[in-house]
Amino acid sequence: MLKKAILSVQKWGNSLALRIPAAIARNAHFHIGTQVELSVEKENVIVRPTGQRKLTLQERLDLFDPAKHGGEVMASKCIGKEKF
């Protein structure tokens, strides 16, 4: 799991740009279109996603409460090849 990379600042039009390596983007849950906030704190550039990010499957499963959502409910009787 890549958490650090050495990059070169590049020119992009009248601005400067950094390309985020795919492994770091995955670890940060960045996707195309993810909005981020850039700030400078004590000479460090901080990149934070804005808003709420999508939860991973594991994070969703961790939030699952069996007491609230437990049990299995069949809306209808088994039909056709569903019978066993």
Domain boundaries, the chain: 10-82
Two tokens, residue 28? 């940060």
Query: What CATH number was assigned to the domain covering residues 10-82?
Result: 2.10.260.10
Residue 71: which residues within 8 A CB-CB, separation 6 or more? none
Reported as a single tens digit per residue, the pLDDT across 7-47 is 999 999 999 999 999 999 999 888 888 889 999 999 999 99
Q: Which of 27, 9, 26 is nearest to 18 (CA)?
A: 9
At residue 78, does pLDDT exceed 80?
no
At residue 52, does pLDDT exceed 80?
no
